[in-house]
């Protein structure tokens, strides 16, 4: 049962559009993460945050940006979507030891 919510679940959008993927958690976790995963491939960390006003880029270069204005909210924004951004985006949070993942957003840019 997810305490971390991602919306939308699926999104098809045209090239050049600005989009924001939403991620919210109700657990009060300080640490939040965004991963990108192509079908059948590994997860790659693209952004993470250790608390309000703290954001860092991950191991995989990404043209997206993130913000952390509130503990529970960690949105990811693409200013100008391209077909190469087509992927699944997974949000996770952590307090203590283990991760909790959201259900993901599957993004298709046409």
Give the residue from 37, 36, 40, 39 showing the smallest Cα distance to 48.
36
CB 37 within 8 A of CB 90: yes
102 touches other proteins by CB under 8 A: yes
Cα separation, 1 vs 40, whole angstroms: 24
CB 55 within 8 A of CB 66: yes
94 touches other proteins by CB under 8 A: yes
- Name which of residues 15 to 54 contact other proteins (CB under 8 A): 31, 33, 35, 40-43, 45, 48, 50
Cα separation, 53 vs 105, whole angstroms: 24
Read off the tokens for 70.
Answer: 């509130």
# residues contacting other proteins (CB under 8 A): 28
57 touches other proteins by CB under 8 A: no
Smallest distance from other proteins to CB 17, Å: 23
Question: Which residues lie near other proteins (CB under 8 A)?
Answer: 2, 6, 31, 33, 35, 40-43, 45, 48, 50, 56, 58-59, 88, 90, 92, 94, 97-104, 106
């Amino acid at each position: 049962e997810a305490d971390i919510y991602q919306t939308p679940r699926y999104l098809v959008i045209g090239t050049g559009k600005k989009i924001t993927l939403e991620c919210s958690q109700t657990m009060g976790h300080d640490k939040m993460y965004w991963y990108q995963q192509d079908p059948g491939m590994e997860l790659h960390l693209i952004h993470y945050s250790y608390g309000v006003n703290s954001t860092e880029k991950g191991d995989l270069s990404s043209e997206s940006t993130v913000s952390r204005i509130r503990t529970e909210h960690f949105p990811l924004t693409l200013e100008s979507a391209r077909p190469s951004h087509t992927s699944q985006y997974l949000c996770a949070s952590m307090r203590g030891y283990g991760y909790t993942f959201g259900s993901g957003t599957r993004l298709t840019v046409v």
